[in-house]
Amino acid sequence: MAQTHILGYPRIGADRELKKAQEAYWRGDISQQQLLQVGTDIRRANWQAQSDAGLDFVAVGDFAWYDQVLNHSLMFGVVADRFVDGAAENKLDQYFRLARGRAPSGQPVAASAMTKWFDTNYHYLVPEFDAEQAFCLDSGWLLAEVREAQAQAHRAKPVLIGPLTYLWLGRGVDNALDLLPNLLPCYKQLLAQLGELGVAWVQMDEPILGLDLPAEWRSAFSGTYQEISAAAGNPKLLLTTYFSPLRENLPLAFSLPVDGVHIDCVRAPEELESAVALVGEGQVLSAGVLNGRNVWRADLHKWQRTLKPLAAQLGDRLWLSASCSLLHSPVDLKTETALPQAQKQKLAYSRQKLAELAQLQQLLQEEAAAAEAGTEQGESTHSVAEKLRDTWREQCYLERASVQAKRWQLPLLPTTTIGSFPQTDLLRKVRRQYRNGEISEEDYLEHLRAEIAEAIRRQEILGLDVLVHGEAERNDMVEYFGEQLAGFVHTGNGWVQSYGSRCVKPPIIFGDISRPQAMTVTWSRYAQSLTSKPVKGMLTGPVTILNWSFPREDIHRSESCLQIARALREEVLDLEAAGIGIIQIDEPALREGVPLRAAGHADYFAWAVGCFRYTCSAVKPETQIHTHMCYSNFNAIMDAIVSLDADVITIESARSDLRLLSAFADKTGGYPNEIGPGIYDIHSPNVPEREELVERLKKIAQVVPVERLWVNPDCGLKTRSWAEVGSSLLNMVAAARAVRDEL
Ligand code: GLN
Ligand code: ZN
């Protein structure tokens, strides 16, 4: 009989207990003992859920106080000097200082860098290596959790990040592979310890096998796994991969001296057949058939038909699982009180996915049902790209720029901001009261108008050139549009961990998307009525709305994207008709949807970029389209960014010390349109000095021609206070004027 297991379970708790406890501990409201107890309770509940569902193993080691990669860094002694603070250091506090720079005890320090986990919206803490990096094993926490699970009568399968993926994720050395010989003894020792505890199987995550790996990394696999799997008495190894097809690495994975291989059958269903051909006599094939990154119930009968022959052939060497760790799914549909039954019926959160696995295991014992009439097949990405072929604006940038210059009469180095202004405690309170029905809609709208008027007044005093209305009406840049577009469903409790204690609640794209009415026009028009300076309209782009939502599974992502683009195109035209002549369409998540393999890039960009252009290609030449993005490393996607063909792009650049800028400057001929590289980091509460800003601006002006240069912060200002924003922008405007005067 096929076996069932999962790669990991969400650790936030069904009611975000972990988040609440972490934050209470950091504030000093609960003791470390109380925090530890919350962790114990969550682990117990998670294991019990897996065992109640009848899974053959429970995942252990997937719990983390902040991040699973950080767990490994501490386990291997990868702790940069600045985090070592005194002899009698409190271990958990040291962990939090690594994660977030501060903890109830110990000195504040610069936190570890954080970056996105493959193509997900989860962020991990980057291991910081140095050239003489030593590793030493401190596996106490993991062994304790294994014992904890065993004491609760579970069959524990510890979950580890494999040595090659762990090294790949780190920074600080030219070639992390050089560190491999020093690291492997830790893994050997750890496996021996787990063997002593009677652990039968260990899961080794090596998701980098789904990337376009450099040759030396590929060839390191064989020796690495020879070495760590050699010792007798060790647990068996399940090599796990996810998020991407393995392609040329598929034979490699099965050729390694491991006892099983897990593949992601959601991202690469086509590889199942080859995997069956490759799986060795004594090897297990773990098929990740349930989508670990989405909220829909699976088509179990379809999988029954596909897997039935494999189950007959492999018996208990076929394992059933979700595609990846359920960390990327919400926890339990039972806690979802906001949704009607008819919608809930179509959904499966993590807890329900456990039951689906057990059900599938059962179905494989039964006769397969005949195939039902197939669900309607969506259009192919090809046809969406085809429809989007002609999405360029009629005039080219240079022609547009000259009419826009005449219309707007902006000075050189025009100053602007990215869109949002502080979301004050009062604003949040008023929104909460409105949502709870404690104040009337008219009172709420009146308050928003007052916020907008205040934002406009402040910007006029500061002397900014292009104003924004401040986004007071939005608490989230995707949710706001999702709530107004038809086709989206908003959950009450569909939280997924983004990083540390931060969770996000992506809306679900439930059906076809359309725009019943204008979404932002009233606010923009109101703001514009208060000033003679231009006010930018502010929209979230189609690709970002798509990438920050749970997508449909019955049609291709590109089709939903096009539907969103159509809705936004109507909005853009309505804004233009209302006299809003500068419109910003934010795409901070464009990069998130990029496939992990280069082979998929062209296809993705064809429709994603096409959808963006489609939102704004019908506007008049004198209407200026802006876009905004904020992340590091544009190099790989520069061509796509150029072909968005926005008149102006604002990007994050101060935070990464202007490194980003090189991508925009190095490209032959430079970035062809206008660009506003952020000149100060909005993540820090520090107010940038005028002189510092002048200097940065001059540096930027060396690589971007001043005729095409804008002056703005890195990103929106909603997380800052008005005091910080006022002083920072005052200095920014002064710096722009100073540099302007010298030109
Ligand atoms: N316009 C948005 C804001 O200013 C952009 C946010 C973002 O880039 N993530 O908040
Ligand atoms: Zn941003």
DSSP string, 320-345: EEESS-GGGS-S-GGG--SS-HHHHT
Query: How much of the chain is in helix, strand and coil states, percent to nearest 5?
Result: 45, 15, 40
- Distance CA(678)–CA(139), nearest Å, equals 43
Instruction: Measure the CA dihedral 338/343/345/348, to 10°.
Output: -70
- Distance CA(558)–CA(387), nearest Å, equals 11
Q: Which ligand places an atom closest to the C-alpha of 541?
A: 1
| pLDDT tier for residue 378 given thresholds of 50, 70 and 90 | low
- Distance CA(192)–CA(339), nearest Å, equals 48
pLDDT tens digits along 133-179: 999 999 999 999 999 999 999 999 999 999 999 999 999 999 999 99
| Nearest atom, ligand 1, residue 628 CA | 8
419 lines ligand 1 (CB under 6 A): yes
| pLDDT tier for residue 87 given thresholds of 50, 70 and 90 | low
Q: Are 371 and 305 in contact (CB under 8 A)?
A: yes
User: For position 387, what pLDDT does the model report?
Assistant: 84
Centroid of ligand 2 to alpha carbon of 301 (angstroms): 43
User: For position 669, what pLDDT does the model report?
Assistant: 62
Q: Are 292 and 328 in contact (CB under 8 A)?
A: yes
User: 3-class DSSP state for residue 499?
Assistant: strand
477 lines ligand 1 (CB under 6 A): yes
Centroid of ligand 2 to alpha carbon of 500 (angstroms): 20
Token pair 């470390």 is at which residue?
32
Q: What is the mean pLDDT of residues 563-589?
A: 98
User: For position 683, what pLDDT does the model report?
Assistant: 84
630 lines ligand 1 (CB under 6 A): yes
pLDDT tens digits along 456-472: 999 999 999 999 999 99
| Pairing of the two strands 114-116 and 123-125 | antiparallel
Q: What is the mean pLDDT of residues 534-559?
A: 97
3-state secondary structure 164-204: HHHHHHCECCCCHHHHHHHHHHHHHHHHHHHHHCCCCEEEE
Q: Are 639 and 417 in contact (CB under 8 A)?
A: no
pLDDT tens digits along 553-570: 999 999 999 999 999 999
420 lines ligand 1 (CB under 6 A): yes
In percent, the amount of the chain with pLDDT more than 70 equals 97
User: For position 338, what pLDDT does the model report?
Assistant: 82
- Name which residue sits closest to atom 4 of ligand 1, judged by CA: 716
- Distance CA(487)–CA(510), nearest Å, equals 5
φ, ψ for residue 347, nearest 5 deg: -110, 155
Instruction: Report residue 279 as tokens.
Output: 């799986």
Q: Are 672 and 691 in contact (CB under 8 A)?
A: no
Q: Are 184 and 167 in contact (CB under 8 A)?
A: no
Instruction: Report residue 92 as tokens.
Output: 């958990």
User: 3-class DSSP state for residue 3?
Assistant: strand
Instruction: Report residue 648 as tokens.
Output: 């102006």
pLDDT tens digits along 6-30: 999 999 999 999 999 999 999 999 9
Which residues are known to be catalytic?
683
- Distance CA(254)–CA(285), nearest Å, equals 9
pTM, entire model: 0.94
Q: What is the ipTM of this complex?
A: 0.99
Question: Counting every residue, how long is the chain?
Answer: 743
Alpha carbon 326 to its chain centroid, in Å, reads: 15
716 lines ligand 1 (CB under 6 A): yes
pLDDT tens digits along 342-364: 999 999 999 999 999 999 999 99
- With a cut of 70, say whether residue 550 has pLDDT above it: yes
Asked which of 215-219, 569-573, 589-593 is least confident by mean pLDDT, the reply is 589-593
| Nearest atom, ligand 1, residue 716 CA | 4
- With a cut of 60, say whether residue 202 has pLDDT above it: yes
Rg over CA atoms, the chain: 27
- With a cut of 80, say whether residue 729 has pLDDT above it: yes
E strand spans, 522-612: 535-540, 582-586
Centroid of ligand 1 to alpha carbon of 735 (angstroms): 23
Q: How many CB atoms are located within 10 Å of the residue 533 CB?
A: 16
69 lines ligand 1 (CB under 6 A): no
| Nearest atom, ligand 1, residue 629 CA | 8
User: For position 665, what pLDDT does the model report?
Assistant: 74
| pLDDT tier for residue 442 given thresholds of 50, 70 and 90 | very high
Site to probe by mutation for ligand 1, drawn from 421, 469, 538, 586 as the one with most ligand atoms within 8 Å of Cβ, is 586
* Cβ neighbours of residue 231 closer than 8 Å, sequence gap 6 or more: 188, 191, 192, 195
Instruction: Report residue 438 as tokens.
Output: 């404690």
User: For position 379, what pLDDT does the model report?
Assistant: 54
φ, ψ for residue 616, nearest 5 deg: -130, 10
| Nearest atom, ligand 1, residue 420 CA | 4
- Distance CA(520)–CA(431), nearest Å, equals 17
- Distance CA(287)–CA(364), nearest Å, equals 13
Report the binding-site residues for Zn(2+). 628, 630, 652, 715
715 lines ligand 1 (CB under 6 A): yes
Centroid of ligand 2 to alpha carbon of 588 (angstroms): 6
541 lines ligand 1 (CB under 6 A): no
123 strand-pairing partners = 116
Report the binding-site residues for 5-methyltetrahydropteroyltri-L-glutamate. 16-19, 116, 502-503, 548, 592
pLDDT tens digits along 620-652: 999 999 999 987 677 778 889 999 999 999 999
- Name which residue sits closest to atom 9 of ligand 1, judged by CA: 588
Q: Is the dihedral of CA 640, 616, 670, 694 positive or negative?
A: negative
Alpha carbon 288 to its chain centroid, in Å, reads: 21
Report the binding-site residues for L-homocysteine. 418-420, 471, 586
User: 3-class DSSP state for residue 130?
Assistant: coil
- With a cut of 60, say whether residue 376 has pLDDT above it: no
| Pairing of the two strands 201-205 and 508-514 | unpaired
Average pLDDT over the chain, rounded to an integer: 94
- Name which residue sits closest to atom 1 of ligand 1, judged by CA: 419
User: 3-class DSSP state for residue 502?
Assistant: strand
Instruction: Measure the CA dihedral 726/728/732/734, to 10°.
Output: 60
User: For position 667, what pLDDT does the model report?
Assistant: 55
User: For position 190, what pLDDT does the model report?
Assistant: 97
Centroid of ligand 2 to alpha carbon of 418 (angstroms): 7
59 strand-pairing partners = 157
User: For position 426, what pLDDT does the model report?
Assistant: 96
Q: How far is CA 523 from CA 225, 415, 427, 473, 730, in A?
A: 60, 22, 16, 8, 25
- Name which residue sits closest to atom 6 of ligand 1, judged by CA: 716
Amino acid occupying residue 392: W
Residue 676's closest CA among 645, 700, 695?
A: 700
| Nearest atom, ligand 1, residue 588 CA | 8
Centroid of ligand 2 to alpha carbon of 714 (angstroms): 7
- With a cut of 60, say whether residue 446 has pLDDT above it: yes
Asked which of 207-211, 374-378, 510-514, 553-557 is least confident by mean pLDDT, the reply is 374-378
- Distance CA(86)–CA(704), nearest Å, equals 47
Site to probe by mutation for ligand 1, drawn from 417, 477, 545, 632 as the one with most ligand atoms within 8 Å of Cβ, is 477
Residue 243's closest CA among 126, 357, 118?
A: 118
Q: How many CB atoms are located within 10 Å of the residue 681 CB?
A: 17
Q: How many CB atoms are located within 10 Å of the residue 33 CB?
A: 7
Q: Which ligand places an atom closest to the C-alpha of 540?
A: 1
Report the binding-site residues. 16-19, 116, 418-420, 471, 502-503, 548, 586, 592, 628, 630, 652, 715
Q: Which ligand places an atom closest to the C-alpha of 655?
A: 2
Q: What is the mean pLDDT of residues 64-79?
A: 98
User: For position 657, what pLDDT does the model report?
Assistant: 77
> What sections of 463-556 are H helices per DSSP?
479-484, 521-529, 542-547
Instruction: Measure the CA dihedral 276/277/281/284, to 10°.
Output: -20
